[in-house]
Amino acid sequence: MKTSLQLKMSQQLTMTPQLQQAIRLLQLSTLDLQQEIQEALESNPMLEVREESEEATTDEHKNSQSTDQKATSDAENTTNSNDTDHRELEIAEHIPDDLAVDSSWDDIYTHAPTSHGVPSGDDDFNFENVYGTTDSLWDHLNWQLNLTTMTERDRQIAESLIESVNAEGYLSSPLEEIFEGLTEQMATEDDPLEMDEVEAVLHRVQYFDPPGVCARDLADCLTIQLKQLAEETPWREAALRVVNHYLDLLASRDYTQLMRKSKLKEIELRDVIELIQSLNPRPGNQIESGKDEYVVPDVMVRKDIKNNRWLVELNPEIAPKLRVNASYASMVKRADSSSDNTYLKDHLQEARWFIKSLMSRNETLLKVATNIVEHQRGFMEYGEEAMKPLVLHDVAEAVEMHESTISRVTTQKYMHTPRGIFELKYFFSSHVSTDSGGEASSTAIRAIIKKLVAAENQRKPLSDSKIATLLGDKGIQVARRTIAKYREAMMIPPSNERKRLI
């Protein structure tokens, strides 16, 4: 094969480190961004936080200028008494943006930040660690077991029972299986284990907190809670009778059969059902084992009543204001190729990239949030029922960006409005055509369904077909299957399960 040299021209899209950084910062949540900024401040000596006192003395127009120009200007003012330092600073200012950086991208940003917020110093006092609890249900039960006087044999049985409890507070295995497992571990020829012993220990554990724990089934759980009520509690005995014998009729809301078999009048059955509904069918859920997660809004929305307009601004508390350290920037010499000077030049370049990426992120976020507020002005004024249909393409076209960029901006970003805090994705929804030729948002339809269900006659709840008819009267044509899908998404039970005597 003959060797030869050829020239070939082609176009290729390359993701530069600057673009990679800008995209990655764009999709970070507020807490992740704060940790990313903290890591950048610790790893790059060229970056520093601008103090609040300095911000108060600067004009609003100056704050919109690039942070690296502001830092270099400050350095010139502080070094004009020294001609040599002043010349070195001018050289550093004209360092081109395409400087070669010796350190690779992955060497600096290797690990994605977690979503647990900014790491605090050792001296910070965390009140949540003192007054909060992260005990699980099993820890809570074992803690009570340690405070209970028992024989070693009964304690071992109780530990096995607690190990069999699931997260909702029920025994995950039949008592017979637990007994067989304990027999293999504990029984001896001289002292065989009896089922009565296991049941006796189970009754003791069932009086632990939360009430109803270690129950075998729902009827057992409700019975345990009813027995722990005072004997003089109104309708306690009738409720025990209904739970133990007619729970299936109560679950199916067959009140006619229930009244006939329990020999209760309608007004009496209403009081009994009210007492049963006050019980907790999932006692284990009372003990939360997770830590609280906090949402920090990225965007603040408020109404200017005087001018009748909505104002959108970034939350000033979400991230510190960064700038290039003027003292270190003045040490950079263009013609110097020493390792120290190369180190400073590389970090100066990285600092400028990072600040520019942060500014780009904030500008994009503000632009997208402003467009969303303009589109959903009806929601801000009147609530969910006035929500308009909105998709990513609509915003992308308005702000002249790609849909993938809009998706990144609206993920894990939150907006504080007079109606509450919402994720930006909340304002996007599909549309349903109306009789007038317009469009209705699926979010608005859900709100209307919720309003209709809340106002319905509980003796005769609205069926999905009836809700579809009522929406049709409003000019919104929605199929019954769609109503059922929206209703299930909002955790609203069907009409037969919403029927009430109360």
Judge contact between 30 and 318, C-beta under 8 A.
yes
Buried b / exposed e over 375-385, threshold 16 CB at 10 Å, is: bbeebbeeebb
Q: What does the pLDDT read at residue 218?
A: 92
**Percent of the chain residues topping a pLDDT of 90:** 17
> Minimum mean pLDDT among 69-83, 234-248, 456-470: which range?
69-83
Annotated domain spans of the chain = 137-286, 431-498
> Of residues 38 and 105, which shows the higher confidence score?
38
Local confidence band at 127 (pLDDT 50, 70, 90 cut-offs): very low
Secondary structure (3-state) at 49? strand
Res 87: pLDDT? 47
For 235-290, write each residue's pLDDT tens digit. 999 999 999 999 888 888 888 888 999 888 888 988 999 999 899 999 988 876 55
Residue 335 confidence (pLDDT) above 70: no
Find residue 310's DSSP bridge partners. 303
Query: Could you tell me the two tokens for 48?
Result: 């520093």
What confidence category does residue 351 fall into, taking pLDDT thresholds of 50, 70 and 90?
confident
Q: Which residue has the higher pLDDT, 20 or 424?
A: 424
DSSP β-bridge partners for residue 432: 440
Handedness of CA 292, 299, 449, 482 (dihedral sign): negative
| β-strand pairing of 322-324 with 47-49 | antiparallel
CB 226 within 8 A of CB 236: yes
Q: Which residue has the higher pLDDT, 337 or 134?
A: 337
Whether the pLDDT of residue 70 is over 50: the answer is: no
Residue 45 has pLDDT above 90, yes or no: no
What is the model's pLDDT at position 14?
63
188 pLDDT band, cuts 50/70/90, is low
Strand partners, 390: 429
d(CA 449, CA 153): 57
Question: CA-CA distance, 260 to 301, in Å (whole number)?
Answer: 58
For residues 109 and 22, give the distance between their C-alpha atoms in angstroms, rounded to a whole number: 13
> Looking at this protein, which amino acid is placed at residue 360?
S
Note if the pTM is more than 0.85. no
DSSP reduced 3-state for 35 = helix
431-498: which CATH topology?
Arc Repressor Mutant, subunit A (1.10.10)
Q: pLDDT at position 288, please?
A: 62
Q: What is the pLDDT of residue 48?
A: 86
**Residue carrying the six token digits 């950086």:** 101
User: What pLDDT score does 77 carry?
Assistant: 45
Give CA–CA dist 61/364, Å, rounded. 19
Integer Cα distance of 231 and 313 in angstroms:
59
The mean predicted confidence, pLDDT, of the chain is 79
Question: Residue 88 pLDDT > 60, yes or no?
Answer: no
CA distance 201 to 261: 34
Kindly report the CA angle at 286 between 283 and 292, in degrees rounded to 5?
Answer: 155
Q: What does the pLDDT average to over 76-98?
A: 44
| Measured CA distances, 358 to 22, 52, 116, 160 (Å) | 7, 18, 20, 55
pLDDT surpasses 50 at 485: yes
When comparing pLDDT for 316 and 95, which is higher? 316
In eight-state DSSP terms, residue 425 is G
Q: Of 60 and 293, which is predicted with more confidence?
A: 293
**DSSP H helical segments within 206-284, as ranges?**
218-227, 236-245, 247-251, 255-262, 266-277
Residue, of 106 and 147, whose pLDDT is higher: 147
Residue linked to tokens 């044509």: 477
Q: How confident is the model at residue 52, as a pLDDT?
A: 61
For 109-145, give the secondary structure using H, E and C.
CCCCCCCCCCCCCCCCCCHHHHHCCCCCHHHHHHHHH
Can you spell out the DSSP letters for 324-379? Answer: E-HHHHTT--TT--SHHHHHHHHHHHHHHHHHHHHHHHHHHHHHHHHHHHHHTHHH
Inter-residue contact 224 to 215 (CB < 8 Å):
yes
How far is residue 192's CA from residue 198's CA, in Å, rounded to a whole number?
12
pLDDT-derived band at 414, boundaries 50, 70, 90: very high
- Rounded Cα distance between 439 and 7, Å, is 56
* CA–CA separation, 65 and 458 (whole Å): 61
